[in-house]
Amino acid sequence: MTRKTGISELGDVMQLAFVPEDFDAAVEHWTKVMGVGPFFLMEGIHLEGMKYKDIPTDAVFDLALAYWGDLQIELIRPRDTHPSIYTDEYGAVNGLHHVCILVDDINEAYRVCGEQGAEIVIEGSLGDSRVIYVDPAPQTAQGGPGSLVEILQQGEGGPELFAMIKQAGEGWDGSEPLRTLG
């Protein structure tokens, strides 16, 4: 078996994320057309120590998570116009916005991304979870995949939260397509 290199050596993609122009229409599409759900909504998120391109930002956003089999689907709704990957050059695209990789060591992710010339565009934490979003091909002649890579080191409650959301989708009957998490 061939050893993975580059950013892929950090892990497999576990999430596809979208920043739709119409959040409610996206929830309806994913739940009714695609049959994915229920989505669990987390509102008013602001990452602690959040920086966008090395500059502190007060950006706030909502996100909704659901599972399509083993693949997590994330829908994001910016709440303001503070600089971030949701409002600036990386903003709403009505297509794939980013993919997510889970890691055990965010410092190793910083190292690997640095070696690959990936630009850290967002970094911060939510509780004891740490996250970075990287542009794997910033301003290069090669171009890139057209989307960002989120790299998440989950905190203590992260795996249980994701497992609960995934379990809710198993045999889901279509009721309550959007549920609020406290």
In this prediction the pTM is 0.92
| pLDDT score at 153 | 97
Whether 134 contacts 151, CB under 8 Å = yes
Sheet holding 148-153, edge to edge: 55-56, 48-52, 119-126, 129-135, 148-153, 96-102, 13-18, 71-78, 61-68, 39-45, 178-180
Average pLDDT over residues 25-33: 97
Assess whether pLDDT exceeds 90 at residue 91: no
Cβ-proximal residues to 89 (8 Å cutoff; 6+ apart), any chain = none
pLDDT the model gives residue 140: 56
The confidence score (pLDDT) of residue 133 equals: 96
The confidence band for 93, taking pLDDT boundaries of 50, 70 and 90, is confident
